[in-house]
Structure 1
Amino acid sequence: MSGLKILDFSTLLPGPLATMLMADLGAEVISVSAPGRPDLMNGYPPIIDELGISATSAWLGRNKKTICLNLKKPGAVAAVKKLVHEYDIVVEQFRPGAMKRLGLDYETLKKENPALIYCSITGYGQNGPLMMRADHDINYVALSGNMLMMDREDPQTLSIPNFHLADIAGGGYMATISIIAAVQYRERTRKGQYVDVSMFDGILPFACVEGAGVLASRKYPKGWENLTVSGIRNGPHYDVYETSDQKYISVGPLEPKFFANLCIALELPEWADGSILHQDPEHLRIVLRKKFKERTRAEWAEIFSKTEACVEPVYDVSEMCASEQVVARKMTPQVPIALDREKSIEQIGNPVKLSESPVEYRHTAYPSGYHTRDILGAIGFSNQEIQDISQ
C-alpha cells in the first residue's frame, strides 16, 4: 500500500487497528490526537518505559507518525485542509455529525481534494434509528443476535465474549476492507468516495448460518434442534471439557471420520459409527466429561496429536503467544522501539500474508504528538502557529 497517505482521527481500537494494518503494508499514516482527550487504550498496563505509553498504544501506533491538533481551533482546521491535498484518505471515528460541526466532514474536505477517500467508523452507521446512540461492543453483540447464539445448557445464563468482536471484526477489519475497495475504485475512475462503516453491520455475518435460515423461512429454530443434531450448537461433540489438571480441551469432530477417530482415541470404539449422537447425545456428553477428567490437558494433547479428531487444548494468551504455530507464522515479531531502535519488543503481528509484498514492522508507536512540529512546519506553519493549534 505504499503511496497511500492516511490521516487517522480515530482513537480506541477499530480505526487505529485498521490504519495499523495498512501502515504495516506500506501506507504512510499520521495519527491525529487531540489535547486534553486521552486515548483510553493508553491506560492498559504495562507501560513501555522508553515511550511513556502503554504496550497496547505502542502496538496500535506501529509504523505511524503522530501529531496533536486542537480541532476546535480554525488554524487546526486549516492545517487539516492543507494536509488532505497530500494525505488523501481520512479515517474518523466520531459520532455522526461531529466532523461536520468541526468543518471537517467529507463534503467539505472533498472540495480540497475530489479524490479523497473518507471513512467514518461508527457503531450503527450514518443512518437508521440507532445512528446517534452511544453503545459499546457488548451492545452490538447483543443486538446482532450473536450473544444468544453463545448460550449453553442454561438459557438463563448468557456468555459475554471477553474479546472485542465488534471493534475488531466489525470495525477495524471492515474499515480496512472498505478502504482497499475504495482505493481500487479510485485507481479505475480517479474518483474518491465516502465510506460508511458500521460495527453493528460488520458483525451481522457472524450470524450467517442461522440468519440465512431465519430469512428464508421466517422461523427461529426453538432450542436449536437442527443445529444441535449437527453439532454446531451445544452438541456433545462440539464442546469444551475440563481435564484432570483443571485445564480444558476443545472438541469439535463434526465430520463422521473425525468423530470415529475421537471414539477410538477415547477407547469407545462401539460409538465410532456416530449413532450415539442421535440415540443419546446427553449420555455421550456425560461420558466425555468423565473421560477427559482422567488425564491432564498435556496428556490429551499428546494423544490427539497423533490422530485427526479436531481436538485441541484451550490456551490462555501467554500460551498462545509461545505456541509453535504462532511462532511458525511469525505472528509475534520483534518490533524496534520508536525512540530507541537498538531495542525492540514483541507485538501481535499482521495477519496479512503476501508473497510479493510482505508486511514490514519498522517501529512501534511514537509518543502522542511527536511529529507535530515537523509535519506542520513542512506545510508552512510557524512555530507559534503550531504551538497555538496543538494546545
Structure 2
Amino acid sequence: MPPSSPPPTEPPPADALTGMTVLDLTQVMAGPFCTMVLADLGADVIKVENPTDGDQTRRSWGISGKGEDSRAFLSLNRNKRSVTLDLKTTEGLDTFYRLVETADVVIENWRPGVAERLGLGFDTLIGINPRLVVASISGFGTTGPYATRPGYDLIAQAMAGVMSITGEPDGRPVKSGLPVADLGAGLFCAVGVLAAWNSSKETGRGQYLETSLFEATLALSVWESTEFWTTGSAPLALGSANRMSAPYQALATKDGYVTIGANNERLWRRLCTAIGRENLLDDPRFVDNPSRMTHRALLVSELEATFADRTTADWVEVLLGAGVPAGPIQDYRQVLEDDPHVKERDMIKFMDHPVEGRVEVIGSPLRLSRTPASIRRPPPLLGEHNDEVLGP
C-alpha cells in the first residue's frame, strides 16, 4: 500500500497589519511611539526625515552609543524605513505627494497650522488620495485657547491635573515617572488610526483624526474625575495609595516596602488573618472600605507596625500564600536583568544594528496568537532606504 500523502500545510499568516503603508512625519516620542506600535504589528512605516539631521531624537536626546544615533532614537524607531526629503522644496514636496498616492496613513506631530503651511494639510492630501487617513498629534489639539502652545509631556501632565495628584501628600508637585502624556497620546492615536483605516477599507473614504498630549492625559484621569464629580473637591496627592479603596498601596517593611491590594472585603479579611491582626476586623474605624479610606493614615500606621517585623520577601510569600495580591517594589535593574517572569514572557528583545551591534529593547506587550508582533528590522540609519523607497 503506497504511503499516504502528507497533509497540505498552510502558508504562514501575514503580519496583522500587512498591507498598511504609513508615512511617518513624526519625531521625538508620541508620534514615533505610535508608529512603532503599528510597525511592530506589520505596517510598512516609512519615516520621512529632513536630510540635515533627521528626527531630532537621533542626535540630541539621551545617551549616545557607538554611532551618531542616540539610544532614545533606537528605542522608538524599530521596524521602520527611513527616507530623507526636504519638504520645504518643490522637489521634496512633489516626491512626498507621489508617496501619498499609494499610502494608507500619514501621521504628523507638528504644531497646528504647520502642515497647512508646508502644503501637507488634510485637504491637500485627501485630494491626492481620497482613501487616505491623516492623523495628527499635538500638544493641545487644533482648536481652543491653548492650540498654538508647544506640546511637552511635562506641561501636559501639569495642566491636565496629573502633577497635582502625584507624589506624597503636602509634597512638591511631581510628574509621573513615565511620560504618560506622550505615550498615552501615541497609544490613542494608534487606536484611532486602526479605526479610521478599517473604515477606509470598508468605504473607500479617508478621514482626519487628531489627539493631543493634553486630552490623552485627561482621558486617563478616570478615578480622579470621578472623585471630583462625586465629592465636589479636587483630588489630592495620595502617594502610592488608591483613591477608591484601602488598603491598596505600598507599606514599609523591615527592609523596604511591600505593595498590597486588599481592595474588597474578602481580601481585607484575608489580609488581617494572614498577618495576625484579626483585631482590626472588629475596629469600627476599619469596618468597611469608606471607613478605611476615611482613616487611611491610622490604618497605614497599624499595618506598618506589623509589617516592620519581617522583610519584604517574607511578607510577599505570606500574603500570596493567603490569596492577598502583593509584590515587591523593584528597580529597573531588577526588572530588566533579574525578573524571572520578564524572562519567561520574553519581554526583552534584541536587534542587530549595523552600527551599534546587538541592542536590547523592550518587546511588544501585544500577544496575538496567529499574527504576533515582531521585530523585523532595526531602527533605520538616516536616509537608509532612499533608493529602496524613492528609487535611484
Provide the rounded CA distance (Å) in 2 between the counterparts of 1:331 and 1:275.
Answer: 45
Residue 147 of structure 1 aligns to a residue whose secondary structure is helix
Q: Could you say which residue in structure 2 is the equivalent of 1:243? A: 253
Match of 1:58 among 74, 78, 82: 74
SS at match of 2:47: strand
Corresponding residue number in structure 1 for 2:266: 257
How far has the Cα of 1:266 moved from its partner?
Answer: 2.0
CA deviations 1:69-122 (Å, max 9, x no partner) are 222121111110011112231110100011111111111112211111111100
Contact in 2 for aligned 1:18/1:175 (Cα 8 Å): yes
Following superposition, the deviation at residue 361 of structure 1 comes to 1.1
Helix, strand or coil at the partner of 1:294: coil
Distance in 2 of aligned mates of 1:192 and 1:223: 41
1:92 aligns with 2:115: no
- Residues 189 and 312 (structure 1), Cα distance of their counterparts in 2 relative to 1, 3 Å cut: same
Distance 1:140 1:373, change over 3 A: same
Contact kept, 8 Å, 2:258 with 2:312, in 1: the verdict is: yes
Does residue 202 (structure 1) correspond to residue 224 (structure 2)? The answer is no
Number of aligned residue pairs: give it. 366
What residue number does 2:14 align with?
Answer: none
What is residue 127 of structure 1 aligned with on the other side? 143
CA distance in 1, matches of 2:245, 2:297: 9
Matches within 5 A, 1:2-81: 2-34=18-50, 35-36=52-53, 38-40=55-57, 42-49=59-66, 52-81=68-97
Q: For each residue in 1:273-295, what CA deviation from the matched residue of structure 2 results, as whole angstroms up to 9, or x when unmatched? A: 67442375433211323333333
**What is the one-letter code of the residue matched to 2:250?**
V
Q: Distance in 2 between matches of 1:213 and 1:294?
A: 35
Whether the aligned pair in 2 keeps the contact of 1:13 and 1:41 (CA below 8 Å) is no
Amino acid at match of 2:232: Y
Q: CA deviation at 1:340?
A: 7.7
The reply to whether residue 301 of structure 1 matches residue 310 of structure 2 is: no
Change (3 A) 1:273 1:7: farther
Answer yes or no: is the 8 Å Cα contact 2:33–2:183 preserved in 1.
yes
Q: CA deviation at 1:54?
A: 2.5
Rounded to whole Å, the distance in 2 between the matches of 1:330 and 1:149 is 34
Which stretches in structure 2 are left out of the alignment for 5+ residues?
Answer: 1-16
The CA deviation at 1:254 is 1.1
Residues 309 and 272 of structure 1: CA distance in aligned 2, closer, same or farther (over 3 Å)? farther
**1:261-300 paired onto structure 2 within 5 Å:** 261-272=270-281, 275-277=284-286, 278=291, 280-300=295-315
1:356 to 370, 376, 387: 370
Q: CA RMSD in A?
A: 2.6
Return closer, same or farther for 1:141/1:350 CA change in 2, 3 Å cut-off: same
Cα-to-partner distance string for 1:133-165 (whole Å, 9 max, x where unaligned)? 1142122122222332335332x5333212101
1:15-67: per-residue Cα shift (whole Å, max 9, x none)? 11111111111100111122246523654554343x54233322211111111
Conserved in 1, the CA contact under 8 Å of 2:87 and 2:118?
yes
Distance 2:209 2:57 in 1: 25
Judging changes above 3 Å, is the alpha-carbon distance between structure 1 residues 329 and 43 closer, same or farther for their aligned structure 2 residues? farther
Contact 1:339/1:366 (<8 A) preserved: no
Find the counterpart in structure 2 of residue 381 from structure 1.
none
CA contact (8 A) 1:32 1:66 kept: yes
Q: Aligned partners of 1:178 and 1:145: how far apart in 2?
A: 24
CA distance in 2: counterparts of 1:101 and 1:374, whole angstroms: 29
Quote the Cα distance in structure 2 between the aligned partners of 1:364 and 1:109: 29
Measured against aligned partners, the alpha-carbon deviations of 1:230-275 in whole angstroms (never above 9, x if no partner) come to: x732976122223333x32222211112122222232212224674
SS at match of 1:196: strand
Instruction: Using the TM superposition, give the Cα deviation of residue 319 of structure 1 relative to its aligned residue in structure 2, in angstroms.
Output: 1.8
> Does the 8 Å CA contact 1:261/1:272 hold for their aligned counterparts?
no
Indicate the larger mover: 258-267 or 97-106: 258-267
Q: 2:127 aligns with which of 111, 114, 117?
A: 111
Rounded to whole Å, the distance in 1 between the matches of 2:214 and 2:58 is 21
CA distance in 2, matches of 1:44, 1:301: 38
TM-score, normalized by length of structure 1?
0.85
1:315 aligns to 2:324 (yes or no): no
CA shift at 1:211, angstroms? 2.1
Cα distance change, pair 68–292 in 1 and its aligned pair in 2 (3 A):
farther
Unaligned runs of 5+ in 1: 379-391
Write the deviation string for residues 281-329 of structure 1: whole angstroms up to 9, x where unpaired: 4332113233333333333323333222222111112222242332333
Asked if structure 2 preserves the Cα contact closer than 8 Å seen for 1:93 and 1:122, the reply is yes
